[in-house]
Amino acid sequence: MSHTQESIHRIVEKQRDFFRSNITLDTDWRISQLKKLREAVTEHRSSLESALYEDLGKDPSEVYLCEIGPVIVEINEILRGLKRWARPERHFSGLMCFPSTRTTVYKMPYGVTLIFSPFNFPVMLTLGVLAASISGGNTAVLKTSSKSAASTRALKSMISEVFPEEYVTVVDGDHDVADMCLRERFDKIFYTGSPAVAKHVLEMASANLTSVALELGGETGNWCIIRKDADLKDAARKIAFFKLLNAGQICIDINQIAVAKEIAEPFLEELKKEFTRQIGEQPENNPEYPKLISRSAYDKCDRLASVYRERIVFGGTGDPGSLRYAPTIVYPVSIDEDIVQHELFCPLLPVVPFPDEDTESLLSIIAEREHPLSMYLFTSDIRWADRVMSTQQFGGGCINEVCLHMMVKGVPFNGTGHSGMGAYHGEWGFREFTHPQTVLTGRTRFNLPLREHPYSGRSGRAKLRILEWFEH
């Protein structure tokens, strides 16, 4: 279907009418919709796997690890907690409000939500956010990426079977269709993608003062720091796994490594061994290895590799036919070079050597740049690592591990500044898609005249003394 501004407007208005029917306010009804979504993901697993292989060359095991499994886990966590999260909170109003003693906070849905999902994880980052929106009691328009066309088709087919258009629907199309959506008055927008496009989303959302959540990759990339006391084999094994995952097309991926100069050479040897052990000597010919999303993405990666060709110590080869590009280590790289000052979103991995004694200077330089979405530290000095993690600003991260922080139940996920705003996963997703609405219940008897005129004279002074006593 080719969308027009009129067709998008009709979808939004139909969803607004559906929301105003108050059907979505019932938590039991929301739970039933989440169960339908979970069942649909399971039933459509094979078609989703096929679509993800067509778009990104993902092996079924990687699809379950990174796309299907996380969605099911997310829905299950919401199902277990939704009744508790959505329950109105009761608060004592305080002496200042006497005789009104009861105040209630209702967790109200925003209404009609617009969810932009990216190409790199088109299932997880569509359905995971949708689950959060449903948990809050909203309707949803899903604007999926035109780059992952097969996944969009699969999602559109699945969603249309499960939900009516006036509740949840998929809108496909390019940037023009995205702008058509942004011109409409939505009640909440959730965007996953790049900081540059996020600025455009915020600008257009401001016309309607629409609440926006952003999940972004980080403009200057995510750092991994390896101290000289790190377990090099363990670090290399985990980093190789992570960089191979989705061919580096991950918002929380390691964009660049800063490694202590004292152990840089042995670390690089361990990393080369791990890349070869995990994916083989010619990854571009390995059908298990994911591909880049498009020829333009492949060419961009290849051009950047060509600039640093003389410093490539591993990889640097690819197959434009299959769009697979080998994991590529660039070494040595200065911390001020262009390649470590922007998000790469590909299998290139620049490595910056630094004297271990200059770690604090390194951290200061990282802190001066835009906040990353993730940070990873490898060291045996956990006290130092804890101090760094509690003083640097970033979305989330790991000590002696990679990426698993986003799979922990009950904790928030997202960035800050150029890496995002807002948070989701589990209860945090429910909070992101609801507005806390405070209501005080007044009484018609025993009302005191403390707040009323006169404020002067003996009566006024007596009122003031009583109010001051109430406030203590």
251 is catalytic: yes
User: Distance between CA 143 and CA 174 in Å, rounded?
Assistant: 9
- Helix then strand then coil, in percent of the chain rounded to 5, is 50, 20, 30
Residues 177/8, Cβ–Cβ less than 8 Å: yes
Residue 281's CB is within 10 A of a number of other CB atoms, namely: 9
Please give the C-alpha separations between residue 390 and each of 164, 286, 378, 393, 404, in angstroms, as whole numbers: 45, 40, 16, 8, 18
User: Distance between CA 40 and CA 163 in Å, rounded?
Assistant: 10
**Residue 23 φ then ψ, to 5°:** -60, -40
| Residue pointed to by tokens 């796994």 | 241
Strand 223-226 versus strand 374-378 pairing type: parallel
| Residue pointed to by tokens 């966590």 | 77
Q: What are the tokens at 26? A: 């019932």
User: Distance between CA 50 and CA 187 in Å, rounded?
Assistant: 34
> What is the DSSP annotation of 383-409?
HHHHHHHTTS--SEEEESS-SGGGG-T
346 is catalytic: no
- Of residues 229, 195, 250, the one with CA closest to residue 239: 250
Q: Is 59 helix (H, G, I), strand (E, B) or coil?
A: coil
Q: Maximum distance among all alpha carbons in the chain?
A: 91
User: Distance between CA 352 and CA 257 in Å, rounded?
Assistant: 6
User: Distance between CA 290 and CA 310 in Å, rounded?
Assistant: 26
Which strands sit side by side in the sheet containing 89-92, from one edge to the other? 89-92, 102-109, 434-441
| Residue pointed to by tokens 């995990």 | 278
| Residue pointed to by tokens 């110590």 | 313
Q: Beta partners for 112? A: 139
Please give the C-alpha separations between residue 380 and each of 72, 268, 271, 453, in angstroms, as whole numbers: 35, 19, 19, 67
Q: Cite the beta strand spans of 194-294 per DSSP E.
A: 211-216, 223-226, 256-260
Strand 102-109 versus strand 89-92 pairing type: antiparallel
Q: Which of 251, 346, 398, 403 is catalytic?
A: 251
Q: How far is CA 113 from the centre of its chain?
A: 16
Q: Which of 74, 215, 219, 270 is catalytic?
A: 215
| Catalytic residue positions, numbered | 215, 251
